[in-house]
Amino acid sequence: MMQRAFRRAGWPLAYSQGYHPHPQMSFALALPVGAEAQADLMQVELTGEPDLNMLKDKLAAAMPPGFAVSGLCPMQDKAVLTTMVTACDWIFSFPADCEGEVRTFASFLEASESLPAVKQSGKKPGKIVDVRPGMTIGPVTTENGICRLPMRLRASQEDYVQPALVMSLAPESLQQSVWQLRRGTMYTTRDGEICPLIKIFEVTVS
């Protein structure tokens, strides 16, 4: 979709070299199948030096319904988004009639000192990992028929707490309910402090 948007905007992407050239573009972190992204970040390499304000307007006009370009900014030399993400905000949404179970589940997670879960990696046997150190649970809220459970989960390359691992600890009734997942702000660690990843770049278009 993004490749086509850039093509419609009339600004060519840079391509890799070799037998099978592909566009030089990547997202900061893969999005689970079926999940929404509220503040996704993408890194692209373009040919030439575009006017970012003009390119933003052209991209906005080329996006399909449901997608929007919130801003463009230049990247620092050799910065690679995929290696910089250390945490993400997530919102797990459930039907309002699940509120009691969601609150019980949130209390269970918060009160637990460790939370072993089985992490799969391709066809290899699952590995048991403790997801509790990489999890911060927010307050449960219910509004307009939706019960929301916010969390901040660790997302570094060495220690990525997948939302699916969290849901594997939920009661079967919650797992089988019609629940949704949305990813919000992505964070990085700089000078020992966690901060929104986008903040470390000079935003020229907003």
Q: Torsion-angle region of residue 122: left (phi > 0), alpha (psi -120 to 50) or beta? A: left
Answer yes or no: is 108 within a domain. Answer: yes
**3-state SS assignment for residue 93:** strand
Provide the token pair at 61: 């006009």
- Residue 98 in contact with residue 180, Cβ under 8 Å? no
Residues 155 and 54 in one domain: no
**Across 69-73, 93-97, 107-111, 174-178, least confident range:** 69-73
Q: What is the pTM of this model?
A: 0.86
Q: Which of 55-59, 81-85, 93-97, 119-123 has the highest mean pLDDT?
A: 93-97
Note down the domain range covering 57. Answer: 2-82
Domains held by the chain: number: 2
Answer yes or no: is 206 within a domain. Answer: no
**3-state SS assignment for residue 4:** helix
Q: Rg of the Cα trace of the chain?
A: 19
Residues 143 and 163 in one domain: yes
Band of residue 205 on the pLDDT scale cut at 50, 70, 90: very low
- pLDDT digits 0-9 by tens, 156-195: 877 889 999 999 999 999 999 999 999 999 999 888 889 9
- pLDDT digits 0-9 by tens, 21-58: 888 888 889 899 999 998 899 988 888 787 888 888 99
pLDDT value of position 122: 66
Instruction: Check whether 204 has a pLDDT greater than 70.
Output: no
Answer yes or no: is 184 within a domain. Answer: yes
Q: Of 49, 82, 115, which closes a domain?
A: 82
Q: Of 51, 82, 113, which closes a domain?
A: 82
Residues 112 and 188 in one domain: yes
Answer yes or no: is 203 within a domain. Answer: no
